[in-house]
């Protein structure tokens, strides 16, 4: 920390009487916001409030309740590790938790730590303006109220701003339509209906088999064929529960010290240094076991294109074996990007779904969607009558929700303008000229490349420690040195370029899925454990690269 000046900050007073004042304002009541509130209020004894536009806690999981919605990380480590008591008392019922079970868990956390009394639901933060005379943020909500705080913490989530593509005619569609990331709370009945799903990312791949089970007919509109590995979801037995409890310390340690927050052992061999038979057998075993750990089959799957080709080709062959109609199978076989260069989905009977009589696949790269009519979707080739359209078209990821808020830093500059060419920040956690603003899971941090709770806990605890250190040192202001931020952006690009991730040119990691969004590789691919150590070392070295006063 370079000390430009020392100021007494903990007992500052405010002139205005009608602005409620807190030490910290947190935006978002999901995994990040709930834990951040607990750390600041219950560990540092600060005053903090959480705002969330949703009607309950849950963050991303409040909104994502589409058919088939479940987490792709395994339940027993897609959860907090900070409280042993919480860990001991909670039992997950399935290997991959369904959306409602995750909501129940977060609701339990909110109750257990008595968080609700400091959470304002149904409240949208509309603007946040940094005022230099007091080094505080003035935050305004849709209720027309203003609040002031020294610290502003964005816990808005990385996949929380639904992306509905701008397809002509949607306003004329007479049927029902939904975006998966904004799913209604009432049950949606597909029985007897013709349903169309646009999108074959993780979401479309989860939803399609469930919708096909109920609908009269399902048409999947696919722009990019995707790799997917079977999840092999199952209920957790009492033996599983025992194993989890007996091994929790090791599971947590492994998750924290791994590349992406999953407690997997990555096979340290190269895919290219083993025999064809051994490689085939390893992929078969991983396929049978299922889940994202398929990626851990060899150490170089994400670094070396030739190594990756072996895994990509294995999955392509699996698709051809599963899907009976060879024409449909070939459409489903991904050819334009390496396996896992886009976020790899895992599924339950996705490819099998295309063997059903009531399911058809339309390749909208070959025959693009032209418009939505009153009665369905029209491509360059045909018109498909539909009662329901499901947009599984993803998110304005990583920056979308943050940039919807009018955030103004020093000199009135907006975050939107500041990031017009792509996000620039330091460690993904602070932006130059936006003092005392912290972004949990911000672009430039490992975030979406990880099992999220691991990345969230690391960020939340780093922010807590930083605020504690500032209070101890009686500092009022922290922000990155612009040079440190520039260097970090270079490091983010360097780390990405050491992997195959940039090869998926339409990936949301690059912002490529949202028209007009600047192309910049957003998550930090240098590895969770490396990033956590670096962040700790920077803090211990007087917050190297940050400027304080
Ligand atoms: P994704 O992964 O962004 O997938 C969105 C899908 O929607 C993808 O197949 C897109 O095709 C497709 N898409 C987007 N816009 C259109 C239009 N206009 N026309 C046709 N198809 C379109 O979002 P998900 O919700 O599936 O997953 C997001 C993350 O949530 C996931 O990675 C996990 O981390 C959890 P494209 O590939 O761009 O050609």
Q: What is the DSSP string of 495-540?
A: HHHTSSGGG-TT-GGGTTTSTT------S--S-HHHHHHHHHHHHH
Mean pLDDT of 529-542: 98
Ranges 1-10, 277-286, 317-326: which has the least confidence: 1-10
> Over 80: is that where the pLDDT of 231 sits?
yes
Indicate whether 245 belongs to any domain. no
Q: What is the mean pLDDT of residues 306-318?
A: 98
Q: Judging by DSSP bridges, how do beta strands 346-347 and 478-480 pair with one another?
A: unpaired
Q: What pLDDT, in 10s, does the model give residues 132-191?
A: 999 999 999 999 999 999 999 999 999 999 999 999 999 999 999 999 999 999 999 999
Asked, for residue 42, whether it belongs to a domain, the answer is yes
Distance 70 CA to ligand 1 centre (A): 16
Q: Provide the 10 A C-beta neighbour count for residue 224.
A: 18
CA distance 502 to 305: 12
Q: What share of the chain in percent tops pLDDT 70? A: 97
Q: Calculate mean pLDDT across residues 105-130.
A: 98
Is pLDDT of 260 > 90?
Answer: yes
**Probe residue for ligand 1, chosen from 159, 513, 519, 523 as the CB with the greatest number of ligand atoms within 8 Å:** 513
Closest residue by Cα to atom 32, ligand 1, is 343
SS3 329: helix
Whether residue 251 is predicted with pLDDT greater than 60 in this model: the reply is: yes
pLDDT mean across residues, the chain: 95
Residue span of the structural domain in which 142 resides? 3-161+397-477
Contact 395, 181 (CB under 8 A): yes
CB-side neighbour CA atoms (13 Å) of 530: 11
The torsion of the CA quartet 422, 262, 201, 178, rounded to 10 degrees, works out to: -90
| Ligand 1 midpoint to CA 395 (Å) | 8
Give me the residue label for tokens 């590895």. 527
Question: Is 8's pLDDT higher than 50?
Answer: no
Q: Which of 446, 448, 441 is nearest to 491 (CA)?
A: 446
Please state the atom number of ligand 1 nearest to the C-alpha of residue 508: 3
In this structure, is residue 126 part of a structural domain? yes
pLDDT of residue 7: 33
| Any domain includes 467 | yes
- pLDDT digits over 30-86, tens only? 999 999 999 999 999 999 999 999 999 999 999 999 999 999 999 999 999 999 999
- Please enumerate, as own/partner, the contacts of 410-419 that have beta carbons within 8 Å and a separation of 24 or more: 410/130, 410/132, 410/434, 410/435, 412/129, 419/518
Q: State the maximum Cα–Cα separation within the chain, in Å, rounded to a whole number.
A: 75
For 432, the token pair is: 């130059």
Please say whether the beta carbons of 465 and 539 come within 8 A. Answer: yes
Q: Work out the number of other CB atoms within 10 angstroms of the CB of residue 526.
A: 19
Q: Is residue 386 part of a domain?
A: no
Residue identified by tokens 């029209």 is 378
- Residue 125: CA count within 13 A, CB half-sphere: 31
In a domain, 55, yes or no: yes
CA-nearest residue, atom 35 of ligand 1: 202
Residue 534 inside a domain? The answer is no
Which H or E element spans position 111? helix 99-112
- Among candidates 401, 472, 405, which has minimal Cα distance to 434? 405
> From the DSSP assignment, how many helices (H) and strands (E) are in the chain?
15, 21
Terminal Cα distance for the chain, rounded:
9
Residue 204 alpha carbon to ligand 1 centre in Å: 8
Of all protein residues, whose CA lies closest to atom 31 belonging to ligand 1? 202
Residue 18 is part of a domain; what is its CATH number?
3.50.50.60
If you search the block for the tokens 């498909």, which residue do you land on? 384
Mean pLDDT of 438-465: 98
With bands split at pLDDT 50, 70 and 90, how would you rate the model's confidence at 1? Answer: low
Residue with tokens 């028209």: 515
User: For residue 387, what is the DSSP state?
Assistant: S
Split into its structural domains, the chain has a count of: 1
203's tokens: 């979401």
Stretch 306-333: mean pLDDT: 98
CB atoms within 10 A of CB 142: 12
Report the SS3 class of residue 371.
strand
Task: Judge whether residue 16 has pLDDT over 90.
Answer: no
In angstroms, what CA-CA distances link 215 with 67, 123, 354? 12, 36, 14
Pairing of strands 359-363, 369-372: unpaired
Spell out which residues line ligand 1, taking CB within 6 angstroms.
Answer: 159, 165, 198-204, 221, 223-224, 343, 364, 369, 392-395, 448, 506, 508, 513
Which of 67, 201, 362, 379 should be mutated for ligand 1, with most atoms under 8 A from CB? 201
Q: What residues does 254 pair with on adjacent strands? A: none
Across the beta sheet with 383-385, the strand order is 369-372, 376-379, 383-385
Closest CA to 456 of 213, 55, 106: 106
Average pLDDT, integer, range 348-377: 98
Regarding pTM above 0.85, the answer is yes
CB-neighbour burial class of residue 269 (10 A; exposed 0-12, middle 13-18, buried 19+): middle
pLDDT at 333 > cutoff 90: yes
What span, in angstroms and rounded, lies between the C-alpha atoms of 446 and 439?
A: 12
Q: For residue 440, is it within any domain?
A: yes
| Rounded Cα distance, 337 and 495, in Å | 19
Asked if residue 340 lies in contact with residue 346, where contact means CB atoms within 8 angstroms, the answer is no
pLDDT score for 10: 36
Q: Mutation test of ligand 1: which of 200, 229, 394, 455 has the most ligand atoms closer than 8 Å to its C-beta?
A: 394
Whole-number Å distance between alpha carbons of 80 and 87: 7
Confidence at residue 17, expressed as pLDDT on a 0 to 100 scale: 56
Is 14's pLDDT higher than 60? no
């Amino acid at each position: 920390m370079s000390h430009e000046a020392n100021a007494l900050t903990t007992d500052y007073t405010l002139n205005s009487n009608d602005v409620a004042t807190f030490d910290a304002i947190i935006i978002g009541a999901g995994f990040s916001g709930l834990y951040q509130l607990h750390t600041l209020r219950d560990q540092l004894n600060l005053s903090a409030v959480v705002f969330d536009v949703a009607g309950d806690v849950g963050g991303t999981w409040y909104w994502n309740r589409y058919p088939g919605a479940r987490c792709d990380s395994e339940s027993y480590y897609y959860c907090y590790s900070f409280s042993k008591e919480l860990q001991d008392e909670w039992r997950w019922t399935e290997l991959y938790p369904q959306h409602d079970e995750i909501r129940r868990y977060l609701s339990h956390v909110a109750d257990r730590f008595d968080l609700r009394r400091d959470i304002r639901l149904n409240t949208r933060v509309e603007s946040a303006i940094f005022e230099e005379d007091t080094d505080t943020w003035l935050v305004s909500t849709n209720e027309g109220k203003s609040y002031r705080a020294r610290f502003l913490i964005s816990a808005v989530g990385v996949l929380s701003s639904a992306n509905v593509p701008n397809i002509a005619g949607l306003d004329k569609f007479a049927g029902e339509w939904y975006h998966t990331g904004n799913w209604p709370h009432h049950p949606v009945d597909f029985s007897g209906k013709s349903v169309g799903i646009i999108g074959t990312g993780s979401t479309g791949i989860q939803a399609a088999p469930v919708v096909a089970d109920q609908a009269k007919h399902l048409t999947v509109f696919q722009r990019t064929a995707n790799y997917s590995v079977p999840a092999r979801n199952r209920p957790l037995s009492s033996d599983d529960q025992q194993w989890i409890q007996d091994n929790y310390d090791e599971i947590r340690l492994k998750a924290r010290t791994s590349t992406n927050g999953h407690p997997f052992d990555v096979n340290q061999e190269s895919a290219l240094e083993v025999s064809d038979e051994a490689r085939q057998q390893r992929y078969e075993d991983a396929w049978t076991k299922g889940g994202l750990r398929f990626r851990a089959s060899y150490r170089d799957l994400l670094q070396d294109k030739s190594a990756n080709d072996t895994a990509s080709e294995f999955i392509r062959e699996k698709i051809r074996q599963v899907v009976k109609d060879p024409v449909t199978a070939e459409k489903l076989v991904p050819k334009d990007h390496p396996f896992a260069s886009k976020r790899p989905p895992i599924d339950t009977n996705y490819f099998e779904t295309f063997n059903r009589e009531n399911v058809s696949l339309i390749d909208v790269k070959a025959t693009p969607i032209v418009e939505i009519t009153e009665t369905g979707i029209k491509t360059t080739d045909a018109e498909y009558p539909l009662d329901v359209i499901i947009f599984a078209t993803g998110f304005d990821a990583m920056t979308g929700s943050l940039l919807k808020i009018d955030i103004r830093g020093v000199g009135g500059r907006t975050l939107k303008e500041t990031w017009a060419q792509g996000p620039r920040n330091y460690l993904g956690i602070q932006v130059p000229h936006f003092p005392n603003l912290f972004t949990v899971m911000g672009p430039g941090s490992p975030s979406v490349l990880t099992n999220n709770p691991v990345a969230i806990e690391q960020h939340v605890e780093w922010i807590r420690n930083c605020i504690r250190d500032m209070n101890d040192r009686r500092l009022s202001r922290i922000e990155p040195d612009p040079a440190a931020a520039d260097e970090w952006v270079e490091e983010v690009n360097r780390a990405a370029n050491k992997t195959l991730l940039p090869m998926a040119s339409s990936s949301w990691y690059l912002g490529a899925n949202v028209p007009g969004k600047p192309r910049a590789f957003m998550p930090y691919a240098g590895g969770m454990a490396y990033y956590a150590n670096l962040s700790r070392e920077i803090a211990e070295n007087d917050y190297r690269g940050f400027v304080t006063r």
